[in-house]
């Protein structure tokens, strides 16, 4: 019976502490909200910020560079997962600030927002470090359930309710696919741990068709979360209906979490299934980029436009995943990963996710700052003349748009530069060309915002009231966008270091 | 004996599931679901998992279904009218899938490709102590995380479902 005894948790506590702090913090914020029911909710956002800060400190204290297997193999904390943990917490910090300012300006979000945000972050952290199908599923559901409620949580707002309900229905459907795939994979491997699956795949052909089918079903589940075409239908409606600060969180943290687990999963499966995954992912990447950009051209609401743009960016990121498992040349058709190419693609992927999160948070932060009394600043036409009325807000939004379009010296340019050069190094020149054409296409709709803000005459009914706190936070993001665009080397080298540790 | 119990209970469970879907009254459907749950408990018992079987009866067939029935009756459970509509065309593949799955199973059985017999369950298999050890040992993370998932679902249902003024604690 020795094998069944509880593992010694004591020596894992330092690595588990970030998870425990976020989980306990969520419970604490909920209790504080229930005990002190005041009109203003500043104490809740402050407490949330403290919890997030503490989890960062705990993460820093537990150290870097090593691989920690926790809770009998359910979680494996590596630098890869630590990178994502920082990203999630960073997104949550800014979302808390933006949400706090929206609350002050008469937003009708419920106070349960803050604990749910923390639980969503907990789910993402579990997802990024999961090394067992069980923890993958539970992390994903914790995140998803919390985000469904965040999206639909605006009191008395039909569009928000519609967004939440639609997201819930479609998300449950996608989860069912994911679960079916996991069940099949369990049947194939005889275990749910990633190590079991890797061993079963390495053992020989076996029921390889079963594993491929399972992989496909799981891809549907993850593809839904990252808004990959053709599983993207929910994105515009949900991004549009949810309040801007929640949309910013969905577009950055949720997407990053989806890509974290997708990357790990593709790396786990690829040595054995590359022949089925690779062409499939190439096709999906191209379709996702193109559909996202083409539809974004025709949008009149800025949130809907950014929703389609986030689909397009999922396509670019998929390009990075494709490159990660691309076949090296001259290997007689056998799928093998060139270590150098893999590192380049992986680090480009991480850098892109970071840059993409910065610019989207900045953009949605400004949109949220301009919204008032539960009415979202959504109509592009009403941004006319914003540069004269609110110069700082207009400048931040302009920087975010230029960066999304990939124009130097913003971080968006460097992200695309690293990504496309990795694609070219892998010998996938046609894919790189499609990517560049797509990002040229995207310049049109991003610049349209700039033209409206800076060159159109201000009209009656334009947005003219911006929240100072939110705009300042977004301005800090804009500063980071510029800083990382000019000096990307340090972060990029750190990202390379992360992928050097991963055994391909 | 165990195999006989397994297949009988399995067949009864399927019957319960099918009958549940075919009902026009929500209350009767819920009762058929109770039937299916009890049959599922029989399947667990046949698989040498007595504790899970007991829990299945207590928690699912007992507590959860009582709650279901309570809610259905409180809301005057809907009864569909007698009018029968043709199944829309896109639904037909969905109807075809279960019979196909049965065909595959029967085909595999007839072709003589027998699966290896599983080894007999070790002594003490399925005992509460063993399940507890697994839950609080290997599956500790899952055990704790599920409670958070349920908590999030609970908060979500309350915040979305209730109007602000009607919260019991405010």
Structure tokens at A83: 């990178």
CA R_g for chain A: 22
| CA quadruple B17, B19, B22, B26: dihedral sign | negative
* Long-range Cβ contacts of A158-164 (<8 Å, 24+ apart): A159/A240, A159/A241, A160/A241, A160/A242, A160/A243, A161/A241, A161/B160, A162/A237, A162/A241, A163/A237, A163/A238, A163/A239, A163/A240, A163/A241, A163/A242, A164/A238, A164/A241, A164/A242, A164/B160
Of A34, A70, A145, the CB nearest to B153: A145
By C-alpha distance, the chain B residue nearest A134 is B142
pLDDT of residue A458: 82
CA R_g for chain B: 21
Structure tokens at A331: 């290997």
The answer as to whether B150 is a domain residue is: yes
Q: Do A145 and B164 touch (CB under 8 A)?
A: no
Which of B156, B164, B168, B169 is most worth mutating to test chain A (most A CB atoms within 10 A of its CB)? B156
pLDDT tens for B49-92 read 888 899 999 998 889 988 888 888 888 777 777 677 777 787 88
Domain boundary among B82, B116, B143: B82
Whether residues B71 and B136 share a domain: the answer is: no
Whether residues B142 and B78 share a domain: the answer is: no
The residue segments making up the domain with residue B152 are 132-170
**In B52-127, which ranges are E strands?**
none
Q: Which residue has the tokens 């993850």?
A: A222
The answer as to whether B3 is a domain residue is: yes
DSSP codes of every residue in A303-361? HHHHHHHHHHHHHHHHHHHHHHTPPPTTSTT-----HHHHHHHHHHHHHHHHHHHHHHH
By C-alpha distance, the chain A residue nearest B157 is A149
* Distance in Å, alpha carbon of A431 to nearest chain B alpha carbon: 36
Domain boundary among B82, B117, B142: B82
* Distance in Å, alpha carbon of A126 to nearest chain B alpha carbon: 9
Under DSSP, is residue A77 helix (H, G, I), strand (E, B) or coil?
A: strand
Question: Which chain A residues are closer than 8 Å to B149 by Cβ?
Answer: 138, 141-142, 145
User: How far is residue B14 from each of residues B34, B43, B87, B132, measured CA to CA in Å?
Assistant: 12, 11, 22, 30
What is the value of ipTM here, to two decimals? 0.89
What are the counts of helices (DSSP H) followed by strands (DSSP E) for chain B? 7, 0
The answer as to whether B107 is a domain residue is: no
- Is the preceding omega at residue B155 within 30 degrees of 0, hence cis? no
Q: Do A149 and B155 touch (CB under 8 A)?
A: yes
Q: Do A142 and B149 touch (CB under 8 A)?
A: yes
Whether residues B77 and B8 share a domain: the answer is: yes
Q: Do A135 and B148 touch (CB under 8 A)?
A: no
pLDDT of residue B141: 92
Q: How many inter-chain contacts (A to B, CB under 8 Å) are there?
A: 81
Q: Do B156 and A142 touch (CB under 8 A)?
A: no
Q: Do B145 and A135 touch (CB under 8 A)?
A: yes
* Distance in Å, alpha carbon of B81 to nearest chain A alpha carbon: 27
HSE-up (13 A, CA, CB side) for residue B162: 15
* Distance in Å, alpha carbon of A117 to nearest chain B alpha carbon: 10
Of A37, A71, A148, the CB nearest to B141: A71
* A152 contact partners, CB below 8 Å, separation of at least 6: A160, A161, A162, A163, A164, A165, A167, A168, A242, B160
Q: Do A149 and B164 touch (CB under 8 A)?
A: no
Structure tokens at A187: 């049947």
Question: Which chain A residues are closer than 8 Å to B145 by Cβ?
Answer: 126, 135, 138-139, 142
Which positions of chain A have pLDDT values less than 70?
1-8, 107, 204-206, 271-275, 327-338, 503-504
Structure tokens at A113: 């927002």
By C-alpha distance, the chain B residue nearest A136 is B142
* Distance in Å, alpha carbon of B3 to nearest chain A alpha carbon: 21
Q: Do B133 and A4 touch (CB under 8 A)?
A: yes
Percentage helix, strand, coil for chain B under 3-state DSSP, each rounded to 5? 70, 0, 25
Whether residues B13 and B71 share a domain: the answer is: yes
Under DSSP, is residue A460 helix (H, G, I), strand (E, B) or coil?
A: coil
pLDDT of residue B164: 58
Rounded CA gap, A350 and A491, in Å? 10
Rounded CA gap, A139 and A223, in Å? 16
| CA quadruple A329, A334, A338, A343: dihedral sign | positive
The answer as to whether B95 is a domain residue is: no
Domain boundary among B21, B54, B82: B82
The answer as to whether B120 is a domain residue is: no
Considering its fold, how many domains does chain B have in total?
2
The answer as to whether B93 is a domain residue is: no
The answer as to whether B100 is a domain residue is: no
pLDDT of residue A272: 67
pLDDT tens for B88-141 read 787 888 888 878 888 887 887 777 666 666 677 777 777 888 888 888 888 999
pLDDT of residue A464: 81
Whether residues B141 and B77 share a domain: the answer is: no
Burial class (CB in 10 A: 0-12, 13-18, 19+), A1: exposed
Which of B116, B152, B168 is most worth mutating to test chain A (most A CB atoms within 10 A of its CB)? B152
The answer as to whether B123 is a domain residue is: no
Question: Which chain A residues are closer than 8 Å to B164 by Cβ?
Answer: 110, 155
Of B140, B148, B155, the CB nearest to A6: B140
pLDDT of residue A273: 67
Task: Give me the helix-helix angle, A255-296 and A194-202, nearest 10°.
Answer: 70
Q: Do B149 and A5 touch (CB under 8 A)?
A: no
Whether residues B3 and B74 share a domain: the answer is: yes
- Do A384 and A458 form a contact (C-beta atoms < 8 A)? yes
Structure tokens at A245: 């600060």
Which of B101, B113, B141, B166 is most worth mutating to test chain A (most A CB atoms within 10 A of its CB)? B141
pLDDT tens for A94-142 read 999 999 888 888 767 778 899 999 999 999 999 999 999 999 999 999 9
B interface toward A at CB cutoff 8 Å? Answer: 130, 133-134, 136-142, 145-146, 148-149, 151-153, 155-156, 159-160, 164, 169-170
- Do A395 and A383 form a contact (C-beta atoms < 8 A)? no
Question: Which chain B residues are closer than 8 Å to A116 by Cβ?
Answer: 152, 155-156
Rounded CA gap, A480 and A442, in Å? 22
By C-alpha distance, the chain B residue nearest A148 is B156
By C-alpha distance, the chain B residue nearest A72 is B138
Whether residues B74 and B12 share a domain: the answer is: yes
What is the CATH number for B49? 1.20.120.1200
pLDDT of residue A430: 92
Which of B116, B143, B148 is most worth mutating to test chain A (most A CB atoms within 10 A of its CB)? B148
**Cα–Cα–Cα angle for A83, A86, A92, rounded to 5 degrees:** 140
Q: Which residue has the tokens 């990382």?
A: A484
Beta strands at A68-70 and A75-77: parallel, antiparallel or unpaired? antiparallel
B161 vs A357 pLDDT, higher one: A357
Of A1, A75, A148, the CB nearest to B141: A75
């Amino acid at each position: 019976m020795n094998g069944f005894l509880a593992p010694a948790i004591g020596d894992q506590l330092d690595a588990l502490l970030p998870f425990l702090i976020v989980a306990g913090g969520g419970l604490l914020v909920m209790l504080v909200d229930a005990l002190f029911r005041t009109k203003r909710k500043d104490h809740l956002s402050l407490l949330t910020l403290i919890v997030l800060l503490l989890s960062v400190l705990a993460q820093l204290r537990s150290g870097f560079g090593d691989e920690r297997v926790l809770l009998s193999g359910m979680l494996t904390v590596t630098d890869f997962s630590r990178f994502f943990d920082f990203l999630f917490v960073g997104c949550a910090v800014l979302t808390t600030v933006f949400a706090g300012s929206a609350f002050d300006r008469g937003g009708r979000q419920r106070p349960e927002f803050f604990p749910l945000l923390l639980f969503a972050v907990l789910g993402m952290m579990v997802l990024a470090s999961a090394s067992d199908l069980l923890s993958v599923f539970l992390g994903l559901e914790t995140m998803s359930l919390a985000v469904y409620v965040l999206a639909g949580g605006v009191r008395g707002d039909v569009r928000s309710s519609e967004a939440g309900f639609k997201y819930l229905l479609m998300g449950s459907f996608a989860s069912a696919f994911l679960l079916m795939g996991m069940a099949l994979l369990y049947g194939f491997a005889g275990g749910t741990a990633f190590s079991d699956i890797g061993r079963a795949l390495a053992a020989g052909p076996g029921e390889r068709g079963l594993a491929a089918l399972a992989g496909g079903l799981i891809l549907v589940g993850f593809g839904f979360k990252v808004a990959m075409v053709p599983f993207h239908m929910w994105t515009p409606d949900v991004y549009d209906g949810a309040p801007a600060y929640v949309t910013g969180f969905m577009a950055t943290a949720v997407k990053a979490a989806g890509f974290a687990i997708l990357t790990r999963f593709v790396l786990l499966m690829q040595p054995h299934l590359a022949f089925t995954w690779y062409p499939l992912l190439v096709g999906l990447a191209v379709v996702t980029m193109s559909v996202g950009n083409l539809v974004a051209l025709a949008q009149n609401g800025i949130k809907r436009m950014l929703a389609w743009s986030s689909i397009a960016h999922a396509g670019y990121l998929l390009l990075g995943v494709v490159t990660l498992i691309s076949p090296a040349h001259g290997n007689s058709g056998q799928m093998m990963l060139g270590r150098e190419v893999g590192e380049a693609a992986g680090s480009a992927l991480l850098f892109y996710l970071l840059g993409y999160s910065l610019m989207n948070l900045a953009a949605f932060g400004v949109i949220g700052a301009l919204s008032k009394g539960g009415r979202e600043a959504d109509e592009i036409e009403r941004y006319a003349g914003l540069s004269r009325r609110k110069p700082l807000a207009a400048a931040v939004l302009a920087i975010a748009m230029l960066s999304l379009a990939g124009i130097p010296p913003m971080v968006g340019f460097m992200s695309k530069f690293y990504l496309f050069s990795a694609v070219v190094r892998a010998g996938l020149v046609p894919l790189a060309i499609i990517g560049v054409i797509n990002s040229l296409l995207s310049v049109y709709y991003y610049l349209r915002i700039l033209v409206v803000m800076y060159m159109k005459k201000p009209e009656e009914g334009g947005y003219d009231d911006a929240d100072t706190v939110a705009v300042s936070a977004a301005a800090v993001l804009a500063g980071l966008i510029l800083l990382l665009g000019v000096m990307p080397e340090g972060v990029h080298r750190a990202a390379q270091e992360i992928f050097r540790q991963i055994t391909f | 004996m165990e195999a006989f119990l397994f297949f009988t209970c399995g067949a009864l469970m399927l019957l319960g599931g099918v009958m549940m879907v075919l009902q026009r009254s929500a209350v009767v459907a819920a009762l058929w679901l109770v039937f299916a749950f009890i049959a599922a408990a029989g399947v667990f018992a046949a698989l040498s998992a007595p504790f899970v079987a007991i829990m299945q009866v207590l928690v699912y067939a007992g507590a959860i279904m009582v709650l279901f029935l309570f809610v259905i009756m409180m809301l005057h459970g809907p009864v569909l009218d007698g009018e029968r509509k043709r199944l829309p065309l896109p639904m037909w593949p969905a109807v075809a899938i279960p019979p196909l799955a049965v065909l595959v199973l029967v085909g595999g059985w007839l072709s003589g490709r027998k699966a290896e017999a599983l080894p007999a369950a070790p002594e003490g298999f399925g005992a509460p102590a063993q399940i507890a050890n697994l839950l609080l040992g290997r599956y500790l993370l899952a055990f704790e995380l599920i409670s958070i998932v349920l908590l999030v679902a609970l908060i979500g249902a309350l915040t979305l479902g209730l109007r602000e003024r009607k919260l019991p604690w405010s």
